[in-house]
Amino acid sequence: MAIELDALIATYQDLHRHPELGRQEHRTAGIVAEQLTALGYAVTTGVGGTGVVGVLERGEGPTVLLRADMDALPVREDTGLAYASTATAVNDDGETVPVMHACGHDLHTTCLLGAAAALVDDEAWQGRLLLVFQPDEEGGGGAQAMVDDGLFERFGTPDVVLGQHVAPVPVGVLGVRSGPAFAASDALRITLYGSGGHGSRPEATVDPVVMGAALVQRLQTVVSREIAATDTVVVTVGSFHAGVAPNVIPDEAVLGLSIRTADERVRTSVLDAVGRMTRAEATAAGATREPEIEALTSFPPVVNDAVACDRLRDAFAAAGRWIVVDPGPVTGSEDVGILADAAGAPCAYWLLGGADPALFAGATTVEEIRALVADLPSNHSPRYAPLAGATLESGVAALVTAARSWLG
103 binds Zn ion per the rule CB under 5 A? yes
Of the pair 103, 257, the CB lying nearest Zn ion is at: 103
What is the closest distance, in whole angstroms, from the C-beta atom of residue 290 to Zn ion in the complex?
A: 33
What is the closest distance, in whole angstroms, from the C-beta atom of residue 71 to Zn ion in the complex?
A: 8
Of the pair 39, 87, the CB lying nearest Zn ion is at: 87
Of the pair 103, 147, the CB lying nearest Zn ion is at: 103
Of the pair 103, 398, the CB lying nearest Zn ion is at: 103
Binding segment for Zn ion among 1-9, 100-108, 150-158, 194-202 (CB under 5 A)? 100-108
What is the closest distance, in whole angstroms, from the C-beta atom of residue 55 to Zn ion in the complex?
A: 25
What is the closest distance, in whole angstroms, from the C-beta atom of residue 79 to Zn ion in the complex?
A: 16
What is the closest distance, in whole angstroms, from the C-beta atom of residue 34 to Zn ion in the complex?
A: 24
Of the pair 197, 377, the CB lying nearest Zn ion is at: 377
- Compute the distance between CA of residue 155 and CA of residue 194 in angstroms, rounded to an integer: 51
Of the pair 103, 385, the CB lying nearest Zn ion is at: 103
What is the closest distance, in whole angstroms, from the C-beta atom of residue 274 to Zn ion in the complex?
A: 22
- Compute the distance between CA of residue 126 and CA of residue 199 in angstroms, rounded to an integer: 72
What is the closest distance, in whole angstroms, from the C-beta atom of residue 404 to Zn ion in the complex?
A: 25
How do 160-170 and 173-175 pair as beta strands? unpaired
- Compute the distance between CA of residue 126 and CA of residue 131 in angstroms, rounded to an integer: 15
380 burial type by CB count under 10 A (0-12 exposed, 13-18 middle, 19+ buried): middle
Binding segment for Zn ion among 27-35, 97-105, 292-300, 315-323 (CB under 5 A)? 97-105
Cα separation values, 182 from 98, 117, 141, 200, 232, Å: 27, 29, 17, 49, 11
Binding segment for Zn ion among 55-63, 102-110, 148-156, 359-367 (CB under 5 A)? 102-110
Cβ atoms within 10 Å, residue 367 = 9
Contact 138, 103 (CB under 8 A): yes
Cα separation values, 322 from 58, 171, 319, 400, Å: 29, 9, 8, 14
Cβ atoms within 10 Å, residue 261 = 26
What is the closest distance, in whole angstroms, from the C-beta atom of residue 333 to Zn ion in the complex?
A: 8
107 binds Zn ion per the rule CB under 5 A? no
Total residues contacting Zn ion (rule CB under 5 A)? Answer: 1
Cα separation values, 302 from 261, 324, 341, 386, Å: 11, 19, 9, 23
- Compute the distance between CA of residue 210 and CA of residue 196 in angstroms, rounded to an integer: 12
109 burial type by CB count under 10 A (0-12 exposed, 13-18 middle, 19+ buried): buried
DSSP code per residue over 216-284 = HHHHHHIIIIIS-TTS-EEEEEEEEEE-SSTTEE-SEEEEEEEEEESSHHHHHHHHHHHHHHHHHHHHH
Of the pair 103, 387, the CB lying nearest Zn ion is at: 103
99 binds Zn ion per the rule CB under 5 A? no
Binding segment for Zn ion among 37-45, 98-106, 168-176, 338-346 (CB under 5 A)? 98-106
Cβ atoms within 10 Å, residue 82 = 7
Of the pair 69, 393, the CB lying nearest Zn ion is at: 69
Of the pair 103, 112, the CB lying nearest Zn ion is at: 103
What is the closest distance, in whole angstroms, from the C-beta atom of residue 231 to Zn ion in the complex?
A: 23
Of the pair 21, 211, the CB lying nearest Zn ion is at: 21
What is the closest distance, in whole angstroms, from the C-beta atom of residue 350 to Zn ion in the complex?
A: 13
Of the pair 103, 222, the CB lying nearest Zn ion is at: 103
245 burial type by CB count under 10 A (0-12 exposed, 13-18 middle, 19+ buried): exposed
Quote the Cα angle for 103-109-115, to 5°: 135
What is the closest distance, in whole angstroms, from the C-beta atom of residue 352 to Zn ion in the complex?
A: 11
The residue whose Cβ lies closest to Zn ion is 103
Instruction: Give residues 134-153 in contact with Zn ion (rule: CB under 5 A).
Output: none
DSSP secondary-structure letter at 321? Answer: S
CA-based Rg of the chain, rounded to a whole angstrom?
Answer: 23
Q: Which residues make up the interface to Zn ion (CB under 5 A)?
A: 103
